[in-house]
Structure 1
Amino acid sequence: MHGEATMTLDESKVIAEARAADDAARKAPGKRHARRPVWRALSVVAAIVAVGGVVAAVQLAPEGVVVASANSVLVSPVASAQDRVCPGPLTLLGLATDDPTLPATLGTTSIRLAGDEGGLEVEPVVASTPAADQQQALAPVRFTVPGLTEDGSPTAFAAAQTLELAQPSAGGFAATACRMPSAEQWLVGGSTAEGSSTQLVMVNSADQAADVRVTVSTADGVVQAPTIREIVVPASSREVVSLEGVAPDRGDLVVHVEAVSGSIISTLHQTRTSGATPSGIEIIGAQDAPSTSLAIVGVPSTSTASEAEGTLVLERGATLRVLAPGDEQTELTVDVRDAAGTALEPISLTIEGGRTTEIPLTGYPIGQYTLGIEASNPVVAAVQTTATATASDLAWYLPVPVLSDSQVVAVPNGPSPKLQLADADGVEKTATLIAEDGTETAVTIPANGTTSIDVEASREYRLEGLDRVSVQLAYAGDGQLAAIPSYAGNPLAEVITVYR
């Protein structure tokens, strides 16, 4: 059994000085944009060297139980170059008259970037598609920035896209975050039931092919479809899979995408019609790994009547779709709170592992609600609702991660954009919203509540002073409804804990 090792004086001094400088930087007055914690400048290698030799102190308790007290240190990796891949316009199969099996896109996306854009590189993912820029694209596009700014601090960068369509084959509004490629994604949403169509679009922006496995789950369990178990997405290309051919007549889809080699971006492209009339589109982004705790922010309440003539009407109700991967039953509790943080009637149930469950969200007064989902096993989830006035649209609300410190938000074009900030731990919060022109607005978030702030389309914003707050960008207009979760501005430089 090893004893407890200690850091040398020099190693301790390095970490202590970095932490002290970090604390001083956070407390010092002055411009918020200039505050860059020194602690974040430490590299993984340097921090691990600083704690080299520190191991757990292990004791044998009198009752024979081994008790371990692990030493740890917070480490901020030095980030490599950051990629953001925008999925591009709505992608459908069957529209190309010369070859219906080829994917075709509808519309032009509006794109907005935010944060540190020094050294920005822009290129279409597929070389044969039209060139893209920082404002719009006709196909998937990749944006790359260095991991560090010129002063050596981590780059903060975000990108998002919106799409408005009014065509005979599809109509509505969609909004999607542009994400970093990864090896695993979960997509909750879509439908292949009558009047609906959903395509799985996988984009590989790298210069090497990606081997991908796709699993589709419904209320009956995993769909047995060998054709999607092994898919090769060539370098700098995209692959489109029609889910009608995988799981026909299903309104309860959850898709799991795993890149065995390489990394990709996956989205679900959904269209819906009522008879021959288009009644909604959505480009559904991927969410991170399953979790036992999720927050879905700003879900409009179910309603069948508008508060005033011409305002947005919600119909068919909102529905929570959830899946607990694996075979075990999962105890699920859904905490429903209004904007002020007041708790409404919660939902508690047991769901079967590996089978999609849909939960109607009905009986709540007109308003917007944040759902807190707690589960005994990790789950993925999303909420779908429908809006209509002179036209109809559908929207999927995804889990929103918890953010702290400073974050950037990109606001692409769209109707009446609002930033929604939700408290994540039951404590009243205050943050600062900074516009492009430097105007600052203090934002108070009630304990367990959600605050909505009007923002301008085609702009970028910075949020300072976040402390465990979920941030979402929401749009609502005449037959237009969508929301985009905000993600960390530099996930490759997020603080991690190293145990030795």
Structure 2
Amino acid sequence: MSDRRTFRWATTSTRLLAGTLVAIGFVVAVVTAVSVPWPTLAREPVAIAAAPAPSASVLVCTGGLLALGRELDDVGRVVTAAPQTVISGVEQGDPEPTAAPLIPPTADGTAPATTVVAEPADGARTDVAASGSSTVVADDLRGFAASACRPPLMESWLIGGSATTGAADLVLLANPGAVPATVQLTVYGASGAQVPAGGSDLIVAPATQIVVPLAGLQLGEESPVIRVTATGAPVQAALQASITRTLVPGGIDQVGAIAVPDIVQMVPGVTVTQNPGADAAPGAATVVRILSPGADATATVTASAVGTAQPVTAPTTVPLAAGIPTEVELGGLAAGQYTIVVDADTPVLAAVWQTTGFGEGSDFAWYTAAPPVEATSLFATPPGPTPVLTVANPTAEAVTVSVGAVDGTFTDEVAVGAGESASVRLVARSVFLLDAGGARVHAGLSLSGDGALAGFPVWPSDAAAQRITVYP
């Protein structure tokens, strides 16, 4: 072998050996890098907690009772049947609220819906409460109606009323804002959900209330539920329900909206004024209307007397078809105060219809489900019969609820056992503060007298502005 070939072989062998060593080193480095923890660098994003600038608290009161079809030459003309008296107030030390009328739907321009506005103070929103009542005695309308003034919402639900013969129900839409609102009414009935021609793209001008006859939406519907959807500006929705039986007026009511469906709907404070069969009437005096808007469901309905957790009758199990309202008659309830609970396996809406009778001089009320109240909240008692506050405790622990007038003239503590409800008599024309000490309760107000029945739930305060986190 020549020296040249020997040198070439040595050079090649050296390169192979070096390459092998480099490859082995690389593999060792990769294995080591995988198995040994690498140093990490974590940087927390900059976060700033800030409270939104407080805005005014705005409520809308439904206004006076309305009548339709009183004039033969103009059956579509809406006139005022009775004015509404409103009571409003805030906690002591807060700036007093102001009231302003909305443009009414009536031809005579009287008894309009009103806005109640409480301006913020010391960098915080002001909690405000208001309610109103009306009494009418006429050939076509008779009864007592009371309703709470509510904030406008982008979406709400009306459960109550009828579009059958004898009913003259009206959907009331109010826009307290500064820009127009476009509203769509979806009616849930025996045929499911429908958007009738008269309920599509309704324009509610700023500072205005409009009226839509329920019969013009779904004529003949016995058990309607209406979904109110607004764009552009939130609206306050309500329902005026009335009935005439063989030319005899049988009552009137103003029904407030429900904000959202829930799997448990509690209706505290339903007042039964007569014992079963007291007037030998063939109809049911207590009826529960339920809707599962999104899916088929099963619901259980129970009625418990105030002061006890045990149902007074056997619970009723009700199958619900999606989008179709169902009614359940609750017979055999003796005179007294009740809490009615609808427990379902999917979110539902519920309200209870109760009447004082079926003859001349009778009245009825729609009791809508009460949302949970945890924060200290205000509510107002309107003029009328002695108001009774019923507080229901769905928790497994007993709670003590404080109820006091904001002017300091009345205070009381109500002990509510686990799963029970309790009631306290209040005075009319006053504003009260409800404090459950952070416990989750439901509360409703009921007013009953001779030929008068009405009620509405207590809503939680929405005056507290929640802090938000900003990531710049």
Separation in 2, partners of 1:5, 1:248? 65
8 Å Cα contact 1:420/1:473 also seen in 2: yes
Alignment partner of 2:112 out of 132, 139, 146:
139
Separation in 1, partners of 2:259, 2:104? 29
Q: Paired residue for 2:48?
A: 49
1:440-473 per-position Cα deviation (integer Å, ceiling 9, x unaligned): 3221112222211111111122223442121211
SS in 1 for 2:161: coil
Separation in 1, partners of 2:360, 2:162? 23
SS in 2 for 1:197: coil
Q: What's the offset of the Cα at 1:100? A: 3.0
Q: What's the offset of the Cα at 1:165? A: 1.0
Q: Paired residue for 1:275?
A: 246
Q: What's the offset of the Cα at 1:315? A: 6.3
Judging changes above 3 Å, is the alpha-carbon distance between structure 1 residues 211 and 443 closer, same or farther for their aligned structure 2 residues? same
SS in 1 for 2:48: helix
8 Å Cα contact 2:147/2:255 also seen in 1: yes
8 Å Cα contact 2:184/2:202 also seen in 1: yes
Q: What's the offset of the Cα at 1:111? A: 0.8
Q: Paired residue for 2:3?
A: none
Separation in 2, partners of 1:4, 1:230? 55
Equivalent AA in structure 1 for residue 256 of structure 2: G
8 Å Cα contact 2:136/2:144 also seen in 1: yes
Alignment partner of 1:120 out of 92, 97, 113:
97
- Give the alignment's Cα RMSD to 1 decimal: 3.0
Separation in 2, partners of 1:270, 1:100? 18
SS in 1 for 2:374: strand
Equivalent AA in structure 1 for residue 95 of structure 2: G
Q: Paired residue for 1:487?
A: 459
Q: TM-score, normalised by structure 1?
A: 0.77
Q: Paired residue for 1:82?
A: 57
8 Å Cα contact 1:402/1:424 also seen in 2: no
Q: TM-score, normalised by structure 2?
A: 0.82
Judging changes above 3 Å, is the alpha-carbon distance between structure 1 residues 431 and 190 closer, same or farther for their aligned structure 2 residues? same
Q: What's the offset of the Cα at 1:224? A: 5.5
Judging changes above 3 Å, is the alpha-carbon distance between structure 1 residues 337 and 210 closer, same or farther for their aligned structure 2 residues? same
Matches within 5 A, 1:176-215: 176-215=147-186
Separation in 2, partners of 1:78, 1:164? 41
Alignment partner of 2:293 out of 312, 320, 325:
325
Alignment partner of 1:110 out of 70, 76, 85:
85
Separation in 1, partners of 2:238, 2:41? 49
SS in 2 for 1:161: strand
8 Å Cα contact 2:127/2:463 also seen in 1: no
Q: What's the offset of the Cα at 1:424? A: 2.6
Q: What's the offset of the Cα at 1:343? A: 2.2
**May I ask how many residue pairs the two structures share in their alignment?**
423
Instruction: Name structure 2 gaps, 5 residues minimum.
Output: 1-39
Equivalent AA in structure 1 for residue 421 of structure 2: T
Judging changes above 3 Å, is the alpha-carbon distance between structure 1 residues 493 and 282 closer, same or farther for their aligned structure 2 residues? same
Equivalent AA in structure 1 for residue 113 of structure 2: P
SS in 2 for 1:355: coil
Q: What's the offset of the Cα at 1:6? A: 8.7
Separation in 1, partners of 2:207, 2:61? 13
Instruction: Name structure 1 gaps, 5 residues minimum.
Output: 12-47, 51-74
Matches within 5 A, 1:35-434: 49-50=48-49, 79-96=54-71, 99-116=74-91, 118=95, 120-126=97-103, 138-146=111-119, 148-150=120-122, 152-223=123-194, 225-301=196-272, 303-305=275-277, 316-326=284-294, 328-344=295-311, 345-388=314-357, 391-434=361-404
SS in 2 for 1:316: coil
Equivalent AA in structure 2 for residue 359 of structure 1: V
8 Å Cα contact 2:391/2:416 also seen in 1: yes
Q: Paired residue for 1:34?
A: none
8 Å Cα contact 2:249/2:360 also seen in 1: no
Equivalent AA in structure 1 for residue 82 of structure 2: G
Separation in 1, partners of 2:43, 2:384? 56
